Amino acid sequence: MGRFVEGQDREQITLFPDCLEDWIGEDNPVRVIDAFVEELDLADLGFSGVDPEATGRPAYHPSVLLKLYIYGYLNRVQSSRRLEREAGRNVEVMWLTGRLVPDHKTIADFRKDNGPAIRKVCAQFVALCREIGLLTTPSSLIALSASLRVNSSRNRKKLSLSRR
């Protein structure tokens, strides 16, 4: 093919690193999300499911779903179906969740069942991002706070009425 940049053959066998840590840089924002959520006391904030049930299928820990939720809003991925897809193909999300891929219904139920607690955490996260300069451009901060407001169930009716 002469003077063109050529990709690799799709049938070429490659060995990706087994360790996801090799793919996530030290300055990657997912590290901030991970450290932030790990420092929270989810039971005190009002998250359900922090203590596992004795019977039934094991559930996802709320910290995993909260990390996925915060990642989605930081990267403008709000749909639970899109978050499910990202968890299966995005290396950053794989690192963040420990290669867990929650179903879209699980993500949606987590959002529905923990609304007030999620709002508290998001307010703390936005304050932290302002402090450390993660959201340096005003547009990214506005987009994050706007998406949080639009998706709160209280404001959905107000938003639909204001569009008319």
Q: What pLDDT is stored for residue 5 in this prediction? A: 61
Confidence of residue 37 (pLDDT cuts 50, 70, 90): very high
Average pLDDT for the chain = 80
pLDDT for 76-95, tens place per residue?
Answer: 999 999 999 999 999 999 99
> Is the pLDDT at 19 greater than 60, yes or no?
yes
Write the CA distances from 89 to 8, 112, 115, integer angstroms: 20, 25, 27
Single-letter code of the amino acid located at 100: L
The angle subtended at Cα 113 by Cα 73 and Cα 107, nearest 5°, is 50
Q: What pLDDT is stored for residue 113 in this prediction? A: 94
Cα separation, 72 vs 30, whole angstroms:
11
Q: What pLDDT is stored for residue 96 in this prediction? A: 94
The H-or-E segment that residue 123 falls in is helix 115-132
pLDDT for 107-147, tens place per residue?
Answer: 999 999 999 999 999 999 988 888 887 766 554 444 544 44
Six token digits for residue 63: 């910290």
Cα separation, 64 vs 101, whole angstroms:
10
Confidence of residue 55 (pLDDT cuts 50, 70, 90): confident
Instruction: Tell me the percentage of the chain whose pLDDT exceeds 90.
Output: 46
Q: What pLDDT is stored for residue 7 in this prediction? A: 63
- The predicted model scores a pTM of 0.74
What would you measure as the largest C-alpha separation in the chain, in angstroms?
64
